[in-house]
Amino acid sequence: MDLSGKHIVLGLTGGIACYKAAELCRALIKQGATVQVVMTEAAAQFITPVTMQALSNRTVYDSQWDAREQNNMPHINLSREADAILIAPCSADFMAKLLHGRADDLLSLMCLARPIETVPLLIAPAMNREMWAHPATQRNLAQLRADGTHVLGVSNGDQACGETGDGRMLEPDELLHEVIAFFQPKLLAGRKVVVTAGPTFEAIDPVRGITNLSSGKMGFAIARAAQEAGAVVTLIAGPVSLPTPRGVDRVDVKSASNMHVAAVEYARAATVFIATAAVADWRPATAADQKLKKDGSGATPQLEFVENPDILAEVASSPRAVEGQLFCVGFAAESHDLLAHATAKRLRKKVPLLVGNIGPATFGQDDNALLLVDAQGATEIPRNTKLQLARQLVAEIAKRLPSH
């Protein structure tokens, strides 16, 4: 559970998006966090304290005069216990309160009284599109960011008022991802990372082609882990149906040739290149213009193959990689003799780090086991979820990078 041991104060302000706070509260708890809900008087017009108490399994606080606290200082006690304060939804009015240091209710008082260095403040704005676009709101946002508040952004879509545009609060799963990412060590802050993921598809005719069983899950997990670690991430994805990790720029490709062009282009500005994609080694020399059909004679089509470009080897031999400005990581999906094949592939590709796994044991699965091979030898990373392995791999990569 990614939030195990974390105590989150979840603040609710007035807005229809309060209904999402119920699901967010459950999601935080499912990831191991404890949640203390604090509501404004306006929030209670949209969702009841009873609902949030049932979901959080804690009494909800809504008054600065709450007599349950022996010292009558819930604004002090609640903030000191928190690992973070998350305001979701955060109304335009409450943002203005935060900006000016107003403290006329428990939630605003608690935010003002929190120890800034140890209790971060995260806000998830929610408002009408015109309110969001108003210069006053944008000025407030800019100043809140300058003051150290972590603004989680908004989404675009239908609004309760019937209008459409920016200002919707992020969905609970998006907010959960943001909170989890916030607590991850920023080991790749300031780095630009390019990840290739998934299979490629080499056309035989308009409806058939050669591909493989790679699901892309490991590469997508690495892209997410790199983004959580503070990197600017570009994910070059073969034909898979996985959702794009939040905050990651995705480039969809189909064939090995498509992936080659994209990888070479984006690697020019990257500091880390991670080639997890299972790229086809060969492709048909020519693809038929029409579907190849059997005619009952038993004759089979004769296919001639040509070798696809070696993406990793080309990027690893580029001047920036040779000069140490680009750190390249390769992947080897093998069926047997993993150590021998991974070691040989690392030397052949001339990369500083090669990650090996047994392909048939991991394709399409949510977990994996990795073997890291570098100039010093091999290190096994035991089987775990692909996201946890990705985070471990990101940490290993970060240790090998030169300082900024």
Active site residues: 161
- 123, 150 Cβ separation under 8 angstroms: yes
Distance between start and end Cα atoms, the chain: 32
- 291, 343 Cβ separation under 8 angstroms: no
How long a stretch of residues is the chain?
404
> Quick one: DSSP state of residue 305?
E
- 2, 32 Cβ separation under 8 angstroms: yes
**CA distance linking residue 371 with residue 378, whole number of Å:** 7
> Quick one: DSSP state of residue 300?
-
Q: Rounded to the nearest 10 degrees, how much is the dihedral formed by the CA atoms of 44, 47, 53, 59?
A: -10
**Cis bond upstream, residue 89 (ω within 30):** yes
Give the DSSP H/E element, type plus range, for residue 191.
Answer: none
Question: Can you give the C-alpha Rg of the chain in angstroms?
Answer: 26
